[in-house]
Structure 1
Amino acid sequence: MSSSDIFIGETIGTAILILLGGGVCAAVTLKASKARNAGWLAIAFGWGFAVMTAVYIAGPLSGAHLNPAVTVALAVKDGDWSNVPTYFAGEFLGAMIGAALVWVAYYGQFQAHLTDKEIVGGPGAQSTAAKSVEAQEKGAGPVLGVFSTGPEIRHTVQNLATEIIGTVVLLLAVLTQGLNDAGNGLGVLGGLITALVVVSIGLSLGGPTGYAINPARDLGPRIVHALLPLPNKGGSDWSYAWIPVVGPLIGGALAAGIYNVAFA
């Protein structure tokens, strides 16, 4: 496959991934959304279906990495790093585009949510406002969770370990399906299996950190959150931002090492 195919496929696929994945977070989080408070099951399955849709769309063009951790794992596994910059460029650009599209799709809901005194504080604010103020003092604004992940308990070693473990599980599942062998991507069944693995990771390992397991999925939308003209949006939690980038990259490399020792 050509560099242009890789870049276009990864950009479109990752944009779809974040549009649908970030979209379910927005649907569950924001006021005036019909799906508000639908819960963690909705988020886990929403992200799984987002992965499946994006894989089917991008697969014919780029093999549908859609995740720098996948790209690193395949480079370690095969020893070929020549296309890594192209994959990274498409993945991060696509993630930013997808996050911006979530904002467009939920524009009115973002405005309603971020101007509500119970959300952002003010006279008559209740406990929700107190939680939002506390979160903002820690660097995370009230809608940052629509765009990127954050820990329930801030413990650097645990948070990093959780992201590494989740990514190892994801990449072992992907690598043992033969992703990108002969340039054909995961295939129809592989896309479904990977989607269900993402759902499983979300349900089982997503509680501590929100399971980024994808540096582009977290960093690209976090940058968009920082840039968007959202009222009362609070901080983008940059002190935490390195963990969902470094953790998945380590996890991807570890998974490739395990694969080469145990399966190759």
Structure 2
Amino acid sequence: MFNRYEADETYGLHVDNAIRRVTGSSVTVRADLSATLFLSDPEGYDGGELQIEDSFGAQRAGFELPPGVEAVNLKDRPPLPRAVLEPHQSIVFQGMMGEAPRWEDLHWLQRQTELPILVKGIQHPADALRVAEMGLDGVVVSNHGGRGLDCLPSAIEVLPRIRAAVGEDFPLLLDGGIERGTDVYKALALGADAVMVGRPQIWALAVAGALGVAHLLRVLREELEVTMALAGTPTIADITAEALFSGP
């Protein structure tokens, strides 16, 4: 919406909920956008409307999948309906979180398959223990690269507490920051059964294709073996927290 201002006037509205519903309609609009026009003939302007079509995610970033590449598991899935919010409702809690998975969804998933189910993104020992008590098959300790909340602790920082909570036998994987064989060694020493490697494989794939990825995995394995040898731990079972130096 265009607003007309006299000299020295400013736009001073604070918007707590950016998505508003047009009165008497199901149409939603952004309320946190404003525009100021400087007209050569302000006396001749009687007001008007500006309609902005907002785009999110891939459209906003201009990203498109290459020809012949598609998310096959989402191919026939209809788009999720957008929540229609009242002015007092939150776009986070009544909007996005309304579609977030819940613990009950994991129970549903267990009934649909006999495949192992591992829950990724666990950072708190109590959540990891709940996953174990539900009869699920493992946890991937991860903060999703810090993209959800940038002040989260790293996965390897919370790993020892999670291992202590779930016991020695419950499968724990770790991802985030695994770029060298020494990183793999530290994760194993602090309680991980295995690690996941993300970005380094993408870099290797971009540089040299499948052979690049194979070379990367070989380098990681050789670096891990060298670390094991120099640390006096000849087998994976010998790698424990006692092999690490934590400083004063």
Rg (Cα) greater in structure: 2
Larger strand share, 1 or 2: 2
Structure number with the bigger relative contact order (C-alpha 8 A, sep ≥ 6) is 1
Larger helix share, 1 or 2: 1
State TM-score, norm by structure 2.
0.23
